[in-house]
Amino acid sequence: MSEDRRLDVLRAIVEDYVATREPVGSRALTERHALGVSPATIRNDMAALEDAGLIVQPHTSAGRVPTDLGYRVFVDRLAGVKPLSAAEKRAIGTLLEQAVDLDDVIDRAVRLLAQLTQQVAVVQYPSLRRSALRHVELVPVGARHLLVVIITTTGRVEQRTLELPEDVDEAVVARLRVRLNVAAAGLRLPDLDRALEALAEEFVADGAGLARAVVAAVGETLAQEREERVVVAGASHLARSAGADFPHTIGPVLEALEEQVVLLRLLSEMAEDTAGISVRIGRETQHEGLAETSIVTSGYGAEGGVAVLGSVGPLRMDYPGTMSAVRAVARYLTRILAG
């Protein structure tokens, strides 16, 4: 019973500190929370939590604040993710469904997540490392020009116009279109190159030049998409709370957020978490510049595995609310890309 009660005291301290930014004392806990025990018992529980390294007294005569370990225990003991309101869900769906292409979807998603959490939002672009080719369309646009439309399972659409040395044979184009989609559609990146190479070798007579040109265009276009990148929004939210949440300096945090390599490494590591939502707190990020932050992420796309999005905020984060927003935006992105 005492262990459960102490966890209730820890939960109350986290919630109060997140709400007020002020160290929490036993009197405040007694007044604000129905813990069902005397102030003396609460003080004893706070002493036990401090001995366990879950809370700390920032200075003499102050209340207590959670440590990184305290936040971790709090997050691990959450019974569930707080659901968004119906109005918030409608707003997310409406905004994202109005997007005209993948770039617009990503831009809207990162700005929306930053607005919902009032923290930094990061959205990783879908990568062909974890997605596949959905369809290739070949459209003659004149005697010697062919439009190649490439659609991936991540929702990206790319177009290339080829200028050919001879007139387009529509029968060959039709045969190439069918063979290309049969051979390559649904393949992930490692197998795609081999399939395209084998396809080019099929057209050794009629349409050999056309097949090689189309295969080269598809390969070059997809190669450009292999570079992974992250879009970031909402850094100003951290700057506004710099004094309270980053007492030393916010500079290292902002520098870390500008380093694509750092973010991609961290997001890739967190993508391996199969729990749906992953949370790293403080030094769990294993990056000195992010030691005073927490990061909440979720995968999105086919089976949640195409890419990752998340929210970066101070240790004093509204964890249930942030986890809810991250999960909701990831689910809507998944639905839109699947459509």
Q: What is the pLDDT of residues 186-212, one digit of tens each?
A: 787 667 777 877 887 777 666 778 888
* DSSP element (H, E) containing 97: helix 86-97
pLDDT for res 131: 65
Residues 233 and 122 in one domain: yes
Number of domains in the chain: 3
161 and 71 within one domain? no
User: Are 236 and 117 members of one domain?
Assistant: yes
End-of-domain residue from the set 158, 191, 224: 224
In a domain, 324, yes or no: yes
Which residue has 């998409």 as its token pair? Answer: 225
**CATH number reported for the structural domain that contains residue 202 in this entry:** 3.30.390.60
Instruction: Please give the single-letter amino acid code of residue 330.
Output: A
Domain limit, last residue, from 159, 193, 224: 224
The domain that holds 301 is classified in CATH as: 3.30.450.40
Residues 233 and 317 in one domain: yes
Q: Are residues 243 and 321 in the same domain?
A: yes
Q: Is 271 domain-assigned?
A: yes
pLDDT recorded at residue 159:
85
Q: How far apart are CA 204 and CA 192, in angstroms?
A: 20
> Does 242 lie in the same domain as 184?
no
Same domain? For 21 and 159 the reply is no
For position 55, what pLDDT does the model report?
94
Q: 3-state DSSP call for residue 162? A: strand
Domain identity same for 118 and 234: yes
In a domain, 234, yes or no: yes
Q: What is the CATH number of the domain that holds 19?
A: 1.10.10.10
pLDDT for 135: 87
139 and 271 fall within a common domain: no
In a domain, 258, yes or no: yes
Do 139 and 203 fall within a single domain? yes
Q: What is the dihedral of CA 242, 246, 249, 254, to 10 degrees?
A: -70
Report the alpha-carbon distance of residue 308 to residue 47 in Å, rounded: 39
- At residue 46, the 3 state secondary structure works out as helix
Q: Which mean pLDDT values do the consecutive 10-residue runs of the chain (339 residues) have?
A: 84 92 89 86 92 89 89 87 81 85 88 94 79 84 88 77 86 88 78 78 74 82 69 87 73 86 86 80 90 92 74 93 93 81
Residues 139, 147 contacting (CB under 8 angstroms): yes
Does residue 182 belong to any structural domain of this protein? yes
Choose the final residue of a domain: 177, 194, 224: 224
On whether both 122 and 255 belong to a single domain, the answer is: yes
Domain membership of residue 297 as a residue range = 86-126+228-338
Does any domain span residue 81? Answer: no
pLDDT of residue 302: 66
Length of the chain (residues): 339
Claim to verify: residue 202 and residue 292 sit in the same structural domain: no
Q: pTM of the predicted model, to two decimals?
A: 0.76
Does residue 65 belong to any structural domain of this protein? yes
